Chains A and B, each alone.
Chain A
Amino acid sequence: MIYLLCLILFCVGLYCIITKRNLIKIIIGIGIVEYAINLFFILIAYRIRGRAPILAQDQVIENMVDPLPQAIVLTAIVIGLAVTALLVAIAIRIYEKYGTFDIEKIKRLKG
């Protein structure tokens, strides 16, 4: 059931990417999709009544959540920031060239 809500978040982002005409809106859509995927990984790693995967001195912690997807998502979040930065740089450059963010007015292929 909780997976379905995560999927709906993914679909909101997908809808934004497909239908919007503004470049910044498309970048926002890509960001939302990214959030949904990261959240999905962590949802899979979760354990009912689990504990964070950090060991403590002099006590045995049972029922830890899965640390492997957390490590992968930690990588993915940082890469997401880099991707957003690159996309925004390209969008700014396109704005300088064409004076608009509307993707239907950006037609000339010649650099």
Chain B
Amino acid sequence: MFLEWVASLIGEEPIELYILLVFMIAAAIIAVEIEDLLSSIVAVGAVGLGLSITFLTLKAPDLAIVQLVVEILCLIILIRATIKRDITQVKGRQRFITILTSLTFIVLFLVLAWSSLKNLPEFGYPIMKVAKNYLGEGLARTGATNLVTSVILDFRAYDTLGEVTVLFAAIIGALAVLRKIGRK
């Protein structure tokens, strides 16, 4: 009875997606609620690695690789921020009223978003108006067999240029904030 209800809810969507997403949500809740900062960072790493496997299930291997590398770098950066800081825990209770208001607004947001999601195309049946062009002519016009690469580096190369600019600006900003010389 219960299993039939679950099966009707899921339909033909792949079941492993649900398992991975529930795992990610559980890890995210642990990351948010745990006291110790280092454990929190490890839990957020679990979310990121789960996301990498989810990308693989959703047939996006390039993204899975990039997510894996970025997740590891992210963990290293975050651990660098917390380790050797002796006072890593913030004492004191949170205000009850803050939690109550934020939860109210989040539930409101969830309801509104859920009602607007019904206008999206059904899961598994994308519209692909633009992508039809890319899929048809990608090989002939760019010579790349990996169509994601052909979109990044040819059809939308200015996007990538902007990305590199943002990356450069952010790294320069981080170096400027952390520099030792020239500071008062």
Report which of A9, A19, A44, A99 forms a contact with B24, defined as CB distance below 8 A.
Answer: A9
Cross-chain contact A12 with B177 (CB below 8 angstroms): no
Report which of B11, B58, B63, B171 forms a contact with A77, defined as CB distance below 8 A.
Answer: B63
Cross-chain contact A84 with B126 (CB below 8 angstroms): no
**Residues in chain B near residue A84, CB distance under 8 A:** 74, 77-78
Query: Within the complex, what minimum Cβ distance (angstroms) separates A12 from chain B?
Result: 5
Chain A binding site: helix, strand, loop or mixed by DSSP? helix
Interface residues of A in 9-55 (CB under 8 A from B): 9, 11-16, 18-22, 24-25, 27-29, 31-32, 35, 38-39, 42-48, 50-55
Query: Within the complex, what minimum Cβ distance (angstroms) separates B12 from chain A?
Result: 6
Interface size range on B against A: 35 or more
Cross-chain contact B103 with A15 (CB below 8 angstroms): yes
Q: Give the number of A-B contacts (CB < 8 Å).
A: 243
Cross-chain contact A28 with B41 (CB below 8 angstroms): yes
**Residues in chain B near residue A9, CB distance under 8 A:** 21, 24-25, 28
Residue B156 CB within 8 A of the other chain: yes
CA of A86 to CA of B81, assembled, Å: 11
Cross-chain contact B123 with A2 (CB below 8 angstroms): yes
Cross-chain contact B62 with A70 (CB below 8 angstroms): yes
**Residues in chain B near residue A14, CB distance under 8 A:** 106, 109
**Residues in chain B near residue A20, CB distance under 8 A:** 32, 94
Cross-chain contact A28 with B134 (CB below 8 angstroms): no
Report which of A44, A65, A79 forms a contact with B163, defined as CB distance below 8 A.
Answer: A79
Report which of A53, A68, A90 forms a contact with B177, defined as CB distance below 8 A.
Answer: A90
Cross-chain contact B159 with A19 (CB below 8 angstroms): no
How many chain A residues touch B (CB < 8 A): the figure is: 76
Report which of B24, B63, B70 forms a contact with A80, defined as CB distance below 8 A.
Answer: B70
Cross-chain contact A19 with B177 (CB below 8 angstroms): no
Interface residues of B in 147-184 (CB under 8 A from A): 147-148, 150-152, 156, 159-160, 163, 166-167, 170-171, 173-175, 177-178
Q: Please encode chain B, from 74 to 115, with 1 for each CB lying within 8 Å of some chain A CB and 0 for all others.
A: 100110111001011110101000110011001001100110
Query: Within the complex, what minimum Cβ distance (angstroms) separates A70 from chain B?
Result: 5
Cross-chain contact A82 with B167 (CB below 8 angstroms): yes
Most buried by A among B13, B59, B125: B59
What are the nearest 10 A-B pairs in CB distance?
A82-B170, A48-B124, A89-B174, A71-B151, A53-B147, A18-B102, A5-B21, A16-B32, A55-B145, A67-B147
A-B contact pairs, 19 of them (CB 8 A): A3-B117, A9-B25, A11-B109, A11-B110, A15-B106, A18-B98, A22-B90, A24-B81, A42-B63, A44-B121, A46-B126, A48-B125, A53-B147, A66-B128, A68-B130, A81-B70, A81-B73, A89-B174, A93-B177
